[in-house]
Amino acid sequence: MRKKIIAGNWKMNLSLNEANELHEAIEKLNSSDNQLVKIIFPPFVYLDRFIQKKGHFNVGAQNVSQFSNGAYTGEISANMLKSIGCQYVLIGHSERREYFNEGDNILSLKVKQALQNSLKIIYCIGETKDQRQNDDFLSILSNQLNLLTESLEINDFENISIAYEPVWAIGTGLTASPDQVEEVHASLRIALEKMTNKTTALNTSIIYGGSCNTTNAESLFSCPNVDGGLIGGASLKAKDFLEIIALLNNS
Ligand code: 13P
């Protein structure tokens, strides 16, 4: 059975005080949603603090180096993340692809580093606005998935979830409609089955990200192939994030 996942990507936001306040507020949630996997992705400098608090939320890193260790000033290795008790990592986010030139080679090295260090991966894929105009945009997405799967073993998928994040919907207030999202998620699951096998495809969580908020979450989460959400802006407001979690819990 695949898991439902709700994740908050804080991106490069919040001072320490603000981050503490947000964390305290979301940790007050009641625990009737135990069947959900709940993750926050704070900036690196706050990871250890929230890991030590051992709350309801798993803690993940927004990025990881493709290198194992050495003279790479400013980088954070998968082994360092593991050593502080970090459990999850985001790889392939469109903001990393676009602003930091992370291409397929780098991303597949990052995936290997994360898996070697037993981190669980949320691997992001998504099409740009221009690619969406292309009739064949579903195959653009399955190619992105293929680049992930071709270097992996079937067992690796126990530690991998997919986030579909249409680039045109991230931080723009534009959301893909439930029909658009279901079309993509269902086609990704079929593509995943071809690349791996039926069990792996059925057991891999595929979550949606891109202006998911309290207004649209219910209809997005009602789609059969949507297994949760990767929330950006709305995860910075405790009340909204908790409401979105409750909507996933009731879906
Ligand atoms: P927004 O929810 O702010 O559009 O961000 C989505 C996202 O990029 C999550 O990783």
The preferred substitution site among 174, 181, 231, 240 for testing ligand 1, maximizing ligand atoms within 8 Å of CB, is 231
- State residue 43's pLDDT score: 98
What stretches of the chain adopt beta strand conformation (E)? 4-9, 36-41, 58-61, 88-91, 120-125, 160-164, 206-208, 228-231
Mean pLDDT of the chain: 93
Annotated catalytic, 93?
yes
Catalytic residue, from 93, 95, 127, 185: name it: 93
Active site includes 165?
A: yes
Report pLDDT for 32: 62
Q: What is the pLDDT of residue 172?
A: 79
Q: What is the mean pLDDT of residues 22-36?
A: 82
Region 92-107: mean pLDDT is: 92
- Residue 94 CA: which ligand 1 atom is closest? 8
Distance CA 148, CA 144 (A): 7
CA 230, CA 135: separation in Å to the nearest integer?
A: 26
Residue 61's SS3 state is strand
Judged against a pLDDT cut of 80, whether residue 5 lies above it is answered with yes
Of residues 243 and 32, more confidence is placed in: 243
What is the predicted pLDDT for the residue at 179? Answer: 93
- Expressed in angstroms and rounded, the spacing between residue 139 Cα and the centre of ligand 1 is 23
Q: Give the residue, 197 or 168, on which the prediction is more confident.
A: 197
- Per-residue pLDDT band for 31 (boundaries 50, 70, 90) equals low
**Rg, Å, the chain Cα set:** 17
Residue 45 C-alpha to ligand 1 middle, in angstroms?
Answer: 20
**What's the 11 CA to ligand 1 centre distance in angstroms?**
9
3-state secondary structure of 7: strand
Question: Which atom, in ligand 1's list, is nearest to the CA of 95?
Answer: 8
Atom of ligand 1 nearest to the CA of 230: 9
pLDDT at position 71 is 98
Q: How confident is the model at residue 30 (pLDDT cuts 50, 70, 90)?
A: low
pLDDT over threshold 70, residue 80: yes
Instruction: Return the pLDDT at 33.
Output: 65
What DSSP character marks residue 97?
A: H
Q: Tell me the per-residue pLDDT of 170-224, one tens digit each, with 9 for 90 and over.
A: 877 777 899 999 999 999 999 999 999 999 999 999 999 988 999 999 999 999 9
Q: Kindly indicate the confidence band of residue 150, based on its pLDDT and cuts at 50, 70 and 90.
A: confident
